[in-house]
Structure 1
């Protein structure tokens, strides 16, 4: 199955030589599921011809805000709606989670409670799931077809399903602890020191990255939502 990765930002320069760019993280996360990948750097205005250019789509994270004035966001939202209308399976992570909601009629804004960084636990349909996160923005108003799958005290809309068309997650199942450690070193200047310290202390604890990889892969292949 051919998956199109829509890359909406780039990993910090200092991390890319050893850990890769965001698209590389997703290829590693979903490795072993029989996918092939093509990446379009939409953040650099590189877009596919349309929703039929891949059999499934994944939108990455970004340091940008979905509500900010960047030239790539309006055409990305148009592409999201075209993919959605075509019924091609669509996955969004962090910024991807947010911009899909925004494109379909929801609202994204900075969370009043501030930053969410490092290992977080979520109530996911009654189960406790731990994932790494790194964000300040959140989906605060849901589109009509959205159904919340996961939440916690710091993020009410942490995972969303849109029927069997789209599956989105605020946290980062593609971020291993080495990437979180790199973000602490190279992209945490705006994060309160106590949150940085807590994220550092949680390095090495278990997480559900593999669980989410299986769920994302299952959704792309079968449209099953879990």
Structure 2
């Protein structure tokens, strides 16, 4: 039975948490949809939890956050050290959005605000053929970000890409580390919330297009299932 440690790096705004849950709640739903027997534990950085010993975790999932990985917050460098140790140990590890960027930065990549602006709503990504993790030619997933991995680490192979987000999915050379920019844990309702939260921050046409895009289906279950299998395989 797999035991996944979810490291919560950011929190759903309080007014939405009762209806949608926390980010770890969303990931638990995603994981259990694929593997009902999976055990999940949560380490919450915003709640003051200490990082676990990277030598003692079985699998790790790092969530999204409103923070930027380059913000210099006091918890970011220790989390980067944790990532490097887990990577060296070949511990199954996945990062999503902020987690994707944090792993990339920790392992030698470059992250910054993209000139492409806000990526919100339903985004479609090309899938690298025969990557061994994600099947098919493309996946449509909800996104919510400004920052991007601009340069992938040397050890990373890009398996999901779009014109808007060239390095949207990275599979690392150790074979046990995977990260994605979009959010397979989001359902359509919460993806709409993320669009609404950009009212007045992103251009009006970008927000309107993003909201309308969510009328089309998402492949959240497909990518979420692939991530779960990646974390729980032995």
Structure 2 length normalisation: TM-score?
0.91
Mind listing any 5+ residue stretches in structure 1 that lack a counterpart?
Answer: none
Q: Deviations over 1:125-162 (max 9, x none)?
A: 25121000000000011212100001111011010000
TM-superposed deviation, 1:183: 2.0
Match of 2:158 in 1: 148
| One of 100, 109, 120 as aligned partner of 1:117 | 120
Number of matched residues? 223
TM-superposed deviation, 1:204: 3.0
Match of 2:4 in 1: 3
TM-superposed deviation, 1:9: 0.3
| One of 188, 205, 215 as aligned partner of 2:226 | 215
Alignment partner of 1:84 is 2:87: yes
RMSD: 1.4
Match of 2:201 in 1: 190
Say whether the 8 Å CA contact 1:77–1:100 is kept in structure 2: yes
Match of 1:128 in 2: 138
Match of 1:96 in 2: 99
**Deviates most, 113-122 or 50-59:** 50-59
TM-superposed deviation, 1:54: 2.5
Structure 1 Cα separation of the partners of residues 22 and 86 of structure 2: 24
Say whether the 8 Å CA contact 1:43–1:72 is kept in structure 2: no
Match of 2:68 in 1: 65
Q: Deviations over 1:73-113 (max 9, x none)?
A: 01110111111111110000000000000001111000011
Structure 2 Cα separation of the partners of residues 147 and 188 of structure 1: 35
TM-superposed deviation, 1:56: 0.3
Mind listing any 5+ residue stretches in structure 2 that lack a counterpart?
Answer: 130-136
Structure 1 Cα separation of the partners of residues 44 and 98 of structure 2: 14
